[in-house]
Amino acid sequence: GAVVSQHPSRVICKSGTSVKIECRSLDFQATTMFWYRQFPKQSLMLMATSNEGSKATYEQGVEKDKFLINHASLTLSTLTVTSAHPEDSSFYICSARDSGGLFNEQFFGPGTRLTVL
C-alpha cells in the first residue's frame, strides 16, 4: 500500500505554545488529505478535510482558528494547533486520498501523540 508519513511522532509542549504537525504522502499525489483526532479507546473523529490549493473544510464543532490547516502541495498538509491547552492532548492522525487510485483509497499516517502540559 501507499505510504503516508507524519512528523513528529510525539510532541510534548507547554500550555500556550503552538505545535505544527506535518503529513506527507511519499509515493503518490493527494489532492485531499484528512485530519483526525483520536482519544484513548475511541474511534477516529474527523476534524477537517484539507484540499490542495484551497481552504480546508472543518467539521462542526472544530475551531478553524485553533486548528490551522495548510495544504501547500500535492504531497504535504500541515496542522498547527495554536495556543495549545491540556484538553488538546490527543492522538492526531492524518490520511491522504490517492487521487490516482482505482477507488481513491485513503491511507493513514502513523499518528502524532500530542501532550500539552
Partner 1 sequence: QKEVEQDPGPLSVPEGAIVSLNCTYSNSAFQYFMWYRQYSRKGPELLMYTYSSGNKEDGRFTAQVDKSSKYISLFIRDSQPSDSATYLCAMKGTGRRALTFGSGTRLQVQP
Q: List residues near partner 1 by CB under 8 A.
A: 1, 4, 6, 32, 34, 41-44, 46, 49, 91, 93, 95, 97, 103-111, 113
With H, G, I as helix, E, B as strand and everything else as coil, classify residue 16.
Answer: coil
Closest contact distance (angstroms) between CB of 52 and partner 1 is 13
56/81 with CB nearer partner 1:
56
68/108 with CB nearer partner 1:
108
Cell 501523540 sits on residue: 113
Closest contact distance (angstroms) between CB of 32 and partner 1 is 6
Closest contact distance (angstroms) between CB of 74 and partner 1 is 15
Tallying the residues shown for the chain, one arrives at: 117
Q: Of 37, 40, 25, 24, give the one whose Cα is nearest residue 84.
A: 37
Closest contact distance (angstroms) between CB of 29 and partner 1 is 15
Q: Are 6 and 91 in contact (CB under 8 A)?
A: no
Q: What is the CA radius of gyration of the chain?
A: 13
Backbone angles phi, psi at 80, to 5 degrees: -110, 120
22/82 with CB nearer partner 1:
22
